Structure 1
Amino acid sequence: MRMTLRIAAVSVGMLMSAAWPALADTITLKDVTGRDVKVDVPVKHIILGEGRQIYFLAALDKTNPFEHVVGWRDDLPKADPETYGAYLAKYPEIAKLPTFGGMKDGTFDIEQAVALKPDVILMNVDAKTATEEAGYIEKLGKVGIPLVYVDFREKPMENTEPSMRVMGKLMAKEQVAEDFISFRADSIKRVTDVLAKDNPPKPVVFVERAGGYSDDCCMSFGNENFGKMVEIAGGNNMAKGIIPGTFGTVNPEQIIASNPDQIIVTGGMWDAYVPGGKWVGVGYGADLKEARRKLEGLTERPAFTGVKAVKDGNVHAIWHQFYNNPYQFVAIQEIAKWLHPDLFQDLDPEATFKELHARFLPLDYKPGYFVSLKDN
């Protein structure tokens, strides 16, 4: 009789376990700013403080990265319409997701956010000052909504790995996060190991941020983001000693005086921002013939007059959004091939990006992320 009751109790317990999801665990994690944040994991309802955060969310959930997204900022369709269109075709329900304005420009609607009852709100670290000044962390804390900072833009070479680990904990995808981190590290080593062995001369490289987006010249990068990627890829970032932070500007005279050996322009399809602009439209499935035509047009500006890179045809364009996601290792490989073509004849960044898609991302790979004046 006791055995029968015991079996019955176990059976009921098993049924209850099957019928009800496991209770969430409350953990304390450190976000990339060093804040201790208590969160119930795995999170089921997420607000993305930037739509482009889907880049790293997708790397952790290949099946359906939007399953737990209850709201997001409205930037992805404007900043990267091709990627948005590909996700929309696969997950049409995202068209109905509530959208938000930005924290930095003061258009984030905190009342709307609270009404969606998220388990966590993700914010990029560059929104930290605006978030604190508005008192959002305290306001959200009063209703039990934690805010977590991640960073793939301000100091991506320093913060990508900890940001991915934070996301792995939030989503209970720690092993996927570690697999991604290992793949990223191995991909970068394929560049750095060769450079350490051969120690080639470092060409001077000017990276123009969003060239052609406006008539002004020229936005660039200091010793982080694309500036740091250039250094890792075996180049000497021209703007490193001019721009003290991650982002800044250099004037045309500085470019001419520095006479860079290589020029790299970041680009994207920005019709939503600058219709018919001179920007170079590289990205998911881009028309590379048209992108090359526009890239050549940018070399005719006064800032590039007579510089070595233009004379030698060492002018290239690369997808701007590598500056804001954990896929920077693909950019590092491509830059290394541009700077040191003889050393990296066997390196195939396209194959690396294809493998990334096949292993981690929900979308099929489409080329279009790089173009060079040396391309036929």
Structure 2
Amino acid sequence: MTMFGRVALAAVGFCALFSGLAFAGEKVTIKDVTGRDIEVSVPVEHVILGEGRQIYFVAALDTDAPFSRVVGWRDDFKKADLDGYNEYLAKFPEMDKLPTFGGMKDGTFDIEQAVALKPDVIIMNIDAKTATEEAGYIEKLGKVGIPLVYVDFREKPMENTEASMRVIGTLFGKQERAEEFIRFRAEQIARVTDVLAKADAKKPLVFMERAGGYSDDCCMSFGNENFGKMVELAGGANMAKDIIPGTFGTVNPEQIIASNPDQIIVTGANWELYVPGGNWVGVGPDADPKASVRKLANLMQRPAFTGVKAVKDNNVHAIWHQFYNNPYQFVAVQQIAKWLHPELFKNLDPDATFKELHERFLPVDYKPGYFASLAVAG
């Protein structure tokens, strides 16, 4: 049995155990992804999301009414994922009236506004931990009885996604739903890792460019986590693994040319509100495939990619940036595996996987457009 299979079976046991412990309105102690023990009454009815894109995991649990608990959220969803925002807005117009907040990290979070909304809990991403602690927010919120809980789908998502989904499942009283999602995720990752475990496949060298074209700088990438770890799970060798010590960092153009990667994958999304008319690749729901390919090809004209093997062979791809910040990363793992090992995964359909995820767990219909490739265009 694979590691992911064992995790899925363990999850079933966890769900059966915990479902008998928590009752409506009962105070329980949960452990968040930082190891903090937090006392909270569950299920929570009023929630502040420390990031708007946390709706990605909220929707997987509160599928019928994803905004029913949300009393406020950070103002990033519309700017960071305009197509996704509009997709949800069309079905849930009430979300446009929710109070919005600035971020903890940039010091624009309004704690008085948050307290006035009387949330049962505030859910924060782990990358805001340092700023939160320096500002003393946990203590200030604690004085008025508002717990703050950390989750993580960005810093170490392949390590913390399951734990984060269980935390949220407990908070929402949706433990069984969370375990169902975790099982589905494990099964879909195993469709890649099980095949690779039986194959003696060479690992192509992959350069992951983070948010290519978002700025004129080159080139942001990933260390041994997030998309970097997804590349490894998909049967590739992450070029920046030994260059970037943490999850995120930068690789200079000379390093890319010298490394001469076999494959290049650029993350992108519709960032028109961040960088109007920018060179970013706007992959995402219902994105124009021709525009995505055109902009991807344009990015390969930069000096960092001059003469690189991946560009010569048209092994250049674009993938939805937001996979780096939600529990759907298994879809990205499947697509990357299909790009890196087309013969091994010719029968694997990541679009079908993502569509099934939408049909089983999400309140909006699936619209393709999350991937683009010069190999297909060529």
Q: TM-score, normalised by structure 2?
A: 0.93
Larger radius of gyration: 1
Percent of pairs with identical residues? 77
Partner of 1:241: 242
Please name the residue that 1:14 is paired with.
Answer: none
**Paired residue type of 1:126:** D
Aligned to 1:366: 367
3-state SS of paired residue (1:297): helix
Q: Give the residue type in structure 2 aligned to 1:373.
A: L
Match of residue 12 from structure 1? none
Q: Which residue matches 2:213? A: 212
Assess if the C-alpha contact under 8 Å between 2:82 and 2:272 holds in 1.
no
Match of 1:353 in 2: 354
Q: Tell me what 2:266 maps to.
A: 265
Structure 1: distance between partners of 2:364 and 2:172: 20
Q: How many Å separate the matches in 2 of 1:26 and 1:211?
A: 46
8 Å contact 2:24–2:43 — kept in the other structure? Answer: no
Question: What is the CA–CA distance in structure 2 between the aligned matches of 1:68 and 1:195, rounded to whole Å?
Answer: 41
1:158 corresponding residue in structure 2: 159
List structure 1 runs of 4+ shifted beyond 3 angstroms: none
- State the shift of 1:199 in Å: 2.4
Normalising by structure 1, we get a TM-score of 0.94
Q: Give the secondary-structure state (helix, strand or coil) at the position aligned to 2:241.
A: helix
Query: Quick one: distance in 1 between partners of 2:307 and 2:283?
Result: 25
Question: What's the counterpart of residue 99 of structure 2?
Answer: 98
Question: What is the deviation of 1:23?
Answer: 5.3
1:116–1:342 distance in 2 versus 1, CA, 3 Å: same
Equivalent AA in structure 1 for residue 93 of structure 2: P
Q: How does 1:23-172 map to 2 (within 5 A)?
A: 24-172=25-173
Provide closer, same or farther for how the CA distance between residues 96 and 193 of structure 1 changes in structure 2, counting only shifts above 3 A: same
Match of 2:27, SS state, is strand
The 2-side partners of 1:284 and 1:24 are apart by 38
> Which consecutive residues of structure 1, in runs of 5 or more, have no partner in the other structure?
1-21
* Aligned AA (1:113): A
AA partner of residue 284 (structure 1): P
The CA RMSD over aligned residues, in Å, is 0.7
- AA of the residue aligned to 1:353: F
- Report SS of the residue matched to 2:214: coil
Secondary structure class of the residue paired with 1:37:
strand
Shift of residue 89 of structure 1?
1.0
Aligned partners of 2:204 and 2:95: how far apart in 1? 44
For residue 288 of structure 1, report the CA deviation from its aligned partner.
Answer: 1.1
Whole-Å separation in 2 of the counterparts to 1:310 and 1:78 = 30
**1:89-133 per-position Cα deviation (integer Å, ceiling 9, x unaligned):** 111111110000000000000000000000000000000000000
Matched length: 355
For residues 266-322 of structure 1, what are the alpha-carbon distances to aligned partners after superposition, in whole Å with 9 as ceiling and x for unaligned?
A: 001101111110000000111111010000001110000000000000000000000
Q: How far apart, CA to CA, are the structure 1 residues paired with 2:144 and 2:163?
A: 27
**Gaps spanning 5+ residues in structure 2: where?**
1-22
